[in-house]
A and B are shown apart, each in its own frame.
Chain A
Amino acid sequence: MASKYMLSTLNISISEAATPPICSSCHRLMEPGEHGVEFLCPNCGKAVIRRCKRCRQLGVPYVCPNCGFRGP
């Protein structure tokens, strides 16, 4: 008989490690609160394009990994 003091097994859900947002142009981490932008590829609408503030300001090109569309 199991003692009432016995450690019970609990199913603790471990949250999945969140993938940090990475800029599609410079492939660097985007800081929280940074004035970056996130949108679906203008051409195919499948891949998510993320641009950090610096790349937006400098007009660094981004390439869609799905369709190869090159912006801006």
Chain B
Amino acid sequence: MSEEEKPDTGEEKPISMLPGEKVVELLIPLEDYLTAGVHIGTHICTKFMEPFVYRVRSDGLYILDARKIDERVRVAAKFLARYEPSKIAVVSVRQYGFRPVTKMCEYVGCKPFTGRFIPGTFTNPSLAWYFEPDVVVVTDPRADAQAIKEAAEVGVPVVAFADTDNKTEFVDLVIPGNNKGRKSLALLYWLLTRQILRERGVIPPNGDLPEKPADFETKL
């Protein structure tokens, strides 16, 4: 859809523009992404994550492209909105992901798996906590390796938040982003939740969640 066709909502749209590049509309202002540190990578970069890197800082820190993060959040939301909410499994072994995952599951209606991921959860039907997902969302492909392994075994697609140092083995949709920061994870999950609800029509296309990204943060 071109810029002329878009309805004028009267509100200021967050944009990202570099000289000589076309205007890109972002889900939230670029400053909010930068404040939360969503774009901050690590000193290591894998081949899998090279397409999402914007530049390498002089100190060797890899920086992710905020526009690609934004684009992938939209795509992932579209993808997840097509599935039945109760069949989506959201996994986080990372402590900073506990609250964002729980909050997302409250809004979207999916199943949270926080803390230790017990082997066999997706593969062993004799377990009381056995769950058969249609799609799996993971916070960190390295920490949540067991969940990815089991999802690969049962043949369900995997959506993963991946930093520059992550391998994306058995991941079918990568959302690049800083998956180590407290604020970053909160913002990423908040954005994903909001976008899923927008795609489903639960909230209007310009609607917002009743809570702010800060409410998704794990309290210290």
Which residues of chain A have a CB within 8 Å of any CB of chain B? 35-40, 42-43, 45, 49, 51, 53, 56-59, 69, 71-72
Contacts and interface: CB of A to CB of B under 8 A. Distances in A.
Interface stretch (B15-23, B169-177, B188-196): B169-177
B133 to A, nearest CB: 12
Given A40-B82, A42-B78, A56 B152 contact: yes
Nearest to B47: A59
B156 A56 contact: no
A45 B76 CA distance: 11
Contacts of B167: 59
Given A42-B78, A72-B174, A35 B155 contact: yes
Contact of A57 (B75, B153, B169): B169
24 contacts: A35-B153, A35-B155, A36-B155, A37-B155, A37-B156, A38-B155, A39-B135, A42-B75, A42-B76, A43-B79, A45-B79, A45-B82, A49-B172, A56-B170, A56-B171, A56-B172, A57-B169, A59-B48, A69-B75, A71-B172, A71-B173, A71-B174, A72-B168, A72-B172
Contact of B172 (A35, A43, A51): A51
A22 B3 CA distance: 38
B157 interface: yes
Which 6 pairs from chain A and chain B are nearest by CB? Answer: A42-B79, A39-B157, A59-B48, A56-B170, A59-B168, A42-B75
Contacts of B153: 35
Chain A interface, >50% SS class: mixed
Contacts of B47: 59
Contacts of B78: 42-43, 45
A26 B146 CA distance: 26
Contacts of A69: 75
Interface string B148-186: 000011011100000000011111111000000000000
A59 B171 contact: yes
A37 B152 CA distance: 8
Contacts of A53: 152
A15 B161 CA distance: 44
A62 B50 CA distance: 16
A72 B47 CA distance: 13
A39 B168 CA distance: 17
Contacts of B155: 35-38
